[in-house]
Amino acid sequence: MTTVQRKNPYTPIAIAATFVVIVAATYLLRGGAYYPHVIVEARKNVTIEFVQQSLPKNEDCRAAVATVAQAVRVSCPMCRIALQECSAGPLPEYETLLSEEPITTPSSRLLKGVVIYHWEDGALALAACREAERVSASNTETRAICYPPNARRPLLAPPAPRIDPHQVFLGVLILLFTAAVSAFIGYLIVRYDAVHARWSHDPAHTGPQKFHARPTPRIGGLGVMASLFVSGAVLLVTEQSASGEQFGYLLLASLPAFLGGITEDVTKTVSVGARLMLTMLAAAIGVLLLGAVIPRLDVPGFDVLLKWIPFGIAFTMFAVGGVANSINIIDGYNGLAAGCAVIVLAAMAGVLGIVGDAFLMTSALAMTGALLGFLAWNYPKGKIFLGDGGAYLLGFWLAELSVLLVVRHPEVSPWFPMLLLVYPISETLFSMFRRKVVHGVSPGQPDRMHMHQVIYMHLAQTREDITDPSTITRLNSIVAPYAWLMTLYCAVLAMVFWKETQWLVLASIIFCVVYFLLYWRMSSGVMRAPD
Residue 507 near residue 487 (C-beta atoms within 8 A): no
With vertex at residue 240, the alpha carbon angle to CA 237 and CA 243, rounded to the nearest 5 degrees, is 105
Query: What span, in angstroms and rounded, lies between the C-alpha atoms of 513 and 507?
Result: 10
Structure letter (DSSP) for residue 48: E
With vertex at residue 255, the alpha carbon angle to CA 250 and CA 256, rounded to the nearest 5 degrees, is 125
Gyration radius (Cα) of the chain, Å: 26
Contacts of 251-256 with CB under 8 Å at 24 or more apart are: 252/285, 252/289, 253/282, 253/283, 253/285, 253/286, 253/289, 253/290, 253/396, 253/400, 254/225, 254/282, 254/393, 254/396, 254/397, 254/400, 255/282, 256/281, 256/282, 256/285
Q: Is 323 helix (H, G, I), strand (E, B) or coil?
A: helix
Query: What span, in angstroms and rounded, lies between the C-alpha atoms of 349 and 340?
Result: 14
Q: How many helices (H) and strands (E) does the chain have?
A: 19, 8
Return per-residue pLDDT of the chain as tens, 531 residues.
Answer: 333 445 566 777 888 899 999 999 998 888 778 899 999 988 777 889 999 988 877 888 999 999 989 988 888 888 889 999 998 877 888 888 988 889 999 999 998 899 999 888 888 889 889 988 998 887 777 788 999 999 999 888 776 666 678 888 888 999 999 999 999 999 999 999 888 888 887 765 554 444 544 678 999 999 999 999 999 998 888 766 678 889 999 999 999 999 999 999 999 899 888 999 999 999 999 999 999 999 999 998 898 899 888 999 999 999 999 999 999 999 989 999 999 999 999 999 999 999 889 999 999 999 999 999 999 999 998 999 999 999 999 999 999 999 999 999 988 999 999 999 999 999 999 888 887 777 777 776 777 788 888 888 888 776 555 667 777 778 888 999 999 999 999 999 999 999 999 999 999 999 999 999 998 888 776 654 443
- Non-local CB neighbours of 3 within 8 Å, separated by 6+ positions: none
Query: What span, in angstroms and rounded, lies between the C-alpha atoms of 414 and 195?
Result: 46
- In terms of C-beta density within 10 A (0-12 exposed, 13-18 middle, 19 or more buried), how is residue 9 classed? exposed
- Non-local CB neighbours of 340 within 8 Å, separated by 6+ positions: 330, 423, 424, 483, 484, 487
